Amino acid sequence: MTQILIDGCVLSANYALIALGITLIFSIINLLNFAHGELFMVGAFMVYYVYGVFHLPFVAGLVVAALITAVIGALFEKFFFAPVMRSSTREENSMLLAVGTALLLDSVALFAFGHEQRGVPDVIPGVMQIAGGFLPYQRLLVLLVSLLLVGVLLWFVQYTRPGRAMRALAQDRDAARLMGVNVERTSMLGFAIGAALAGLAGGLLVTVQGISAGAGPAISIKAFIMIMIGGAGVVGGALLGAVVLGFAESVGYSLLPGSETYLLIFVALILFLIIRPQGIMGHPWG
Amino acid sequence: MLLSIRNLVVRYDRVLAVQEASLACEEGGCIALIGANGAGKSSTLRAITGLVRPSAGEITFAGERIDRLGPAAIVARGVSMVPEGRRVFPLMSVRDNLMMGAHLRRDEAAIRADLARLLDRFPRLAERIGQQAGTLSGGEQEMLVVARALMARPKLLLLDEPSLGLAPMVVRDIAFLIRSINRDDKVSVVLVEQNSRMALRISDHAYVLETGRVALSGPSHELAEDDHVRRLYLGVGAE
Ligand SMILES: Nc1ncnc2c1ncn2[C@@H]1O[C@H](COP(=O)(O)OP(=O)(O)OP(=O)(O)O)[C@@H](O)[C@H]1O
Ligand SMILES: [Mg+2]
């Protein structure tokens, strides 16, 4: 029981980074980022190389993971999405493009990183015992850093000038332009931050679960599930979705064998969406 | 002239919204644009602020061509617009909405002073400073978008149908406010209104737009006496 709670907390915190990232991109650029799981995977590999292979500090790995994925996100936005969304009025175009970017990253990753499953040594070895449950320090680290990053992101969006501009852009594009918000720059920044959150989530979770080049699509699907549960485009919804999915997984894995957990999660999600298609908190972003 | 527009053409795909319209507003002036639905009033304002790019014509502000600039550059030069339909940021607090008006400013101390001054001027906004803007009444939202535009310290304020859908009492408040912004704050004003009576009373010069063209223009008090204007826009005469 305690174990389920502990694992649920660690997963939820990490998933919150993924869900917040995809929510940020969704609300500012109006795009469902199909490559979100791939960005997670790239972040994980950055930590694998910097920390696991080159033996530099783990923090350096996280910084590289964040920077590389942010740059990939910014470049995608500037050179792929911005031109396509400017010239086309059909949403399918940008959606197809998003799928394309995911496939692109998948194949580049397979080529660059190989197909083996990779792992890294513990940053902090050892295990802590709480009320009959085990919490490896490694997972504690993932939990704390994830929570810290979630806090930093929420603070940024709520209290800084660029954060406020992002919210304005998400709520009323023309009104934001009339305030002097630079749409091109703010969209790029939003995509970069969203991508970096995915990269950081991957960079953290690789220390617990390892990574392989093919992991992207499964993570993307988890990201979609979370925003469907919480309601697309809402910060509170993203956090809620992350908690629901994190705990569903930790309960499922401790009670059921292997892959049945996700089967049940999908069935539950479909039933839930029939009752409440907009998610629990579905309305525009705040 | 602070603002002068010469032979402006605005086109959306096949629709010609503004056809060779010319108008001007002097420093400290208040001009009104009146006209029926679809006459091209909003399109004219959107062209001034760079939300749509003119297909032809010239717009100069304070002696400088602005018709090739984007909205951010135009706001930075001192043109603020209150768009049609009270476009508050609905999920943001009243305070954050106001702060968005100062988005391009960096003079933090002066921004705080302006915020305090506006909250004195709009006590109803001050009472609701932490409330989500989407939950304000229509009149309060109109006050908010006007105050938000003032946070940019504009030289020229463009107002698109500020009285639309408001109760007569509130319309009076808004009219009073616009006049005070023009006379006391020395901000030049371009006022677009369906409420032609109100617009002609507040403004010193007016333009009548009909299907994208300036059909008539002149001092507002003269237009208010004009038969054509009285019949079509003030709903009098024609017995
Ligand atoms: N985004 C757009 N795309 C296509 N046509 C447009 C667009 N915006 C306006 N139009 C057309 O341009 C013409 C002028 O519209 P505009 O909004 O400028 O009129 P208006 O005078 O502001 O009308 P109202 O009093 O109803 O607000 C109309 O025929 C309108 O249908
Ligand atoms: Mg209009």
What string of DSSP letters covers B152-197? Answer: T--SEEEEE-TTTT--HHHHHHHHHHHHHHHHTS--EEEEEES-HH
- All domains of chain B, ordered by start, with CATH? 3-232 (3.40.50.300)
For residue A85, what pLDDT is reported? Answer: 84
Question: Which chain B residues are within 8 Å of A180, Cβ to Cβ?
Answer: 71-72, 75-76, 103-104, 152
SS (H, E, C) A197-229: HHHHHHHHHHHHHCECCCCHHHHHHHHHHHHHH
Mean pLDDT of A212-216: 93
Question: Least CB-CB distance to A180: which of B72, B88, B89?
Answer: B72
Q: Is A179 on the interface with B (CB under 8 A)?
A: yes
Taking CA–CA distances from B87, the nearest residue in chain A reads A175
CA distances from A255 to A1, A209, A248, A249 (A): 11, 19, 11, 10
The alpha carbon of B38 and the centre of ligand 2 are apart by a number of angstroms equal to: 7
And the tokens for A264?
Answer: 């049940």
Cβ pairs A/B, distance under 8 A: 68
The alpha carbon of B61 and the centre of ligand 1 are apart by a number of angstroms equal to: 24
Report chain A's mean pLDDT, rounded to a whole number: 91
pLDDT category at A283 given cuts 50, 70, 90 is: low
User: Measured between CA atoms, how close is A286 to chain B, in angstroms?
Assistant: 5
User: Measured between CA atoms, how close is B95 to chain A, in angstroms?
Assistant: 11
Question: Least CB-CB distance to B103: which of A171, A179, A284?
Answer: A179
Mean pLDDT of A250-277: 82
Residues with CB under 5 A from ligand 2 (ion): B 42, 84
Would the CA dihedral through A232, A235, A240, A245 be positive or negative?
positive
Q: Is A161 on the interface with B (CB under 8 A)?
A: yes
Report ipTM (2 d.p.): 0.93
Q: Is A108 on the interface with B (CB under 8 A)?
A: no
User: Measured between CA atoms, how close is A88 to chain B, in angstroms?
Assistant: 14
- Per residue of chain B (239 residues), what is the pLDDT tens digit? 999 999 999 999 889 999 999 999 999 999 999 999 999 999 999 999 999 999 999 999 999 999 999 999 999 999 999 999 999 999 999 999 999 999 999 999 999 999 999 999 999 999 999 999 999 999 999 999 999 999 999 999 999 999 999 999 999 999 999 999 999 999 999 999 989 999 999 999 999 999 999 999 999 999 988 888 888 888 775 44
More confidently predicted of A2 and A223: A223
The alpha carbon of B107 and the centre of ligand 2 are apart by a number of angstroms equal to: 34
Q: Atom 24 (ligand 1): residue with closest C-alpha?
A: B37
Burial (Cβ within 10 Å: 0-12, 13-18, ≥19) of residue B84: middle
DSSP secondary structure, chain A, as one string: -HHHHHHHHHHHHHHHHHHHHHHHHHHHH----TTHHHHHHHHHHHHIIIIIIS---HHHHHHHHHHHHHHHHHHIIIIIIHHHHHH---HHHHHHHHHHHHHHHHHHHHHHH-SS-B----SS--EEEETTEEEEHHHHHHHHHHHHHHHHHHHHHHHSHHHHHHHHHHH-HHHHHHTT--HHHHHHHHHHHHHHHHHHHHHHHHHHH-B-TT-HHHHHHHHHHHHHHH-TT-HHHHHHHHHHHHHHHHHHHHHS-TTHHHHHHHHHHHHHHHH-TT-TT-SS--
Q: Do the chains contact at A168 and B148, CB–CB below 8 Å?
A: no
Q: Do the chains contact at A168 and B49, CB–CB below 8 Å?
A: no
What phi, psi does B64 have (nearest 5°)?
-125, 135
**Nearest CA among A276, A231, A225, A218 for reference residue A41:** A218
pTM for the predicted model, two decimal places: 0.91
For residue B231, what pLDDT is reported? Answer: 84
Q: Residue ranges of the domains in chain A?
A: 13-215
For residue A284, what pLDDT is reported? Answer: 45
Q: Atom 11 (ligand 1): residue with closest C-alpha?
A: B17
pLDDT category at A170 given cuts 50, 70, 90 is: very high
Question: Which chain A residues are within 8 Å of B47, Cβ to Cβ?
Answer: none
Mean pLDDT of A218-235: 87
Taking CA–CA distances from B106, the nearest residue in chain A reads A161
**Nearest CA among A189, A197, A191 for reference residue A146:** A197
Burial (Cβ within 10 Å: 0-12, 13-18, ≥19) of residue B236: exposed
Mean pLDDT of A230-245: 86
User: Measured between CA atoms, how close is B236 to chain A, in angstroms?
Assistant: 37
CA distances from A6 to A10, A150, A249, A255, A269 (A): 6, 18, 12, 15, 23
Residue B52 CA: which ligand 1 atom is closest?
A: 1
Task: Tell me the ligand closest to B213's alpha carbon.
Answer: 1
Q: Is A165 on the interface with B (CB under 8 A)?
A: yes
User: Measured between CA atoms, how close is A23 to chain B, in angstroms?
Assistant: 16
Query: Can you give the length of chain A in residues?
Result: 286
**CB A67: neighbour CB atoms within 10 A?**
15
And the tokens for A167?
Answer: 């919210």
More confidently predicted of A29 and A277: A29
pLDDT category at A280 given cuts 50, 70, 90 is: confident
For residue B154, what pLDDT is reported? Answer: 97
For residue B237, what pLDDT is reported? Answer: 58
* Share of residues in chain A with pLDDT > 70 (%): 98
**Residue A282 pLDDT > 70, yes or no?**
no
State the best of A167, A172, A179, A182 to mutate against chain B, taking most chain B CBs within 10 Å: A179
Residue B10 CA: which ligand 1 atom is closest?
A: 12
Chain Cα centroid distance, residue B208: 16
Task: Name all residues whose Cβ lies below 6 A of ligand 1.
Answer: B 12, 15, 17, 35, 37-43, 84, 194
